[in-house]
Chain A
Amino acid sequence: MLSGTVEKTEIVPIASSSDVVLVRQRVRLWTTELKFSLVDQTKIVTAASELGRNTLEHGGGGSLEIAAVTNGLRRGIRLQFSDQGPGIPDIAQALRDGFTTGGGMGLGLGGSKRLMNEFEIQPNPGGGTTVTAIRWK
């Protein structure tokens, strides 16, 4: 369980490719409010885009919970993507493979992990996956 106290949240449903655009827009809004630097904002929104697309294409759709968190010292943004899809059979492998260029169906997880500070993938009890990522200020 990743550390941090949650301050406030927003849920974004992910059901179509235009929802991935919505994910980017909402996450952008949150990172601006939380006053992240431009480069950090770009990294966070890009990670959200990657993970959002994953949720749609690999997970068959799901949702994103955006939350402002604090660990008592720093503030950060937490992105939690959940789906009820087939799940990821070998999580360690998926993180290693990361993105594959040239037409492969790499899950883009490795890349997203590098863009965030904390990263965790958990299988859901009822099936599917929850990916949680946090970026601290």
Chain B
Amino acid sequence: MSKLLETMRQSRESILQDWLTRLKSAVQRRDLISERDLVSQASEMVATLVDVPPGTTFEDFNSPAWQPLKAMLASLSVSRAMAGFTPSETAIFVLSLKPSLFGTARQQRGSDAEELYSDLLTINEFVDRLALHTTDSYIHGRDQVIVRQQEEMLELSTPVVTLWDGIVALPLIGTLDSARTQVVMESLLEAIVQTNSRFAIIDITGVPTVDTLVAQHLLKTITAARLMGAECILSGIRPQIAQTIVHLGINLQDVTTKSRLADAFRLALERSGRKVVRTENAVDRNAATQRGQ
């Protein structure tokens, strides 16, 4: 197959011209890309495609030799996405190279139908994979944006609060998914170390649903905290969630749970050897204001 690539290297100009002719006569999205940029993108792609080391084959898609082409397509996909192209449009751009490559194969093979068929299949699969690679890059780019946004939201929405010496609380708000729980877990454990807190209250009043996965994540956090020497108390469990937990058969046996954050706090205070007492010095605002008159 490397003979095919060799031929393509030599006919790169005609391949490019053939492709450009078809690109220009198709729907171009001139609103998104100038003709000059289109020519530039196509040229770069053909050049990167044919300028691989000798011995490279189309079949070996994972070879390091194809890395430059994949990298070029990944950044092409991202820049086109930013320009406003849909991932399909970018994929079609790549796929439209096929007929030009097929043409080269046909010239080389002449009337040898079997060999030509085999070449066409190889080229077809290769270009398909290139097109899919641009789609993957698009999705990957979007995922990164989402992850970044999630992290930012996370920092805003999961502050760890120090309730008292050695007692921290983590009020969770919103849905807990795998990625989010990782971040939450890490920030709670870091806070435990930094504040030297033996007790951590995880309040889930603001968590709408608890499924098996969420429960697993919570349990992992609680177990990790225990390994570090801190005890977690789970609070803010609404009746529906209590029902869900039992129905799902989730085992919370080793976990202390309280329905209210206040109860969890009282428990943590007790367990750390503290007591809240009412003294005579309670200030009655109304009485004080009257006396002050």
Contacts and interface: CB of A to CB of B under 8 A. Distances in A.
A contacts B directly (C-beta below 8 A): yes
Interface of A: 3-7, 39, 70, 72-74
Contact of A4 (B62, B66, B133, B186): B62
B243 interface: no
Interface stretch (B43-51, B67-75, B79-87, B97-105): B67-75
Given A72-B70, A73-B137, 10 more contacts: A3-B62, A5-B63, A5-B64, A39-B182, A39-B186, A72-B74, A72-B133, A72-B137, A73-B74, A73-B140
A73 B136 contact: yes
Contacts of A4: 62
Interface string B252-286: 00000000000000000000000000000000000
Contacts of B137: 72-73
A5 B67 contact: yes
Interface of B: 62-64, 66-67, 70-71, 74, 133, 136-137, 140, 182, 186
A5 B68 CA distance: 12
Contacts of B74: 72-73
A4 B186 CA distance: 29
Contacts of B182: 39
A39 B74 CA distance: 28
B136 A6 contact: no
A74 B70 CA distance: 12
Closest 6 CB pairs of A and B: A72-B70, A73-B140, A5-B64, A5-B62, A5-B67, A73-B137
23 contacts: A3-B62, A4-B62, A5-B62, A5-B63, A5-B64, A5-B66, A5-B67, A6-B64, A7-B64, A39-B182, A39-B186, A70-B67, A72-B67, A72-B71, A72-B74, A72-B133, A72-B136, A72-B137, A73-B74, A73-B136, A73-B137, A73-B140, A74-B140
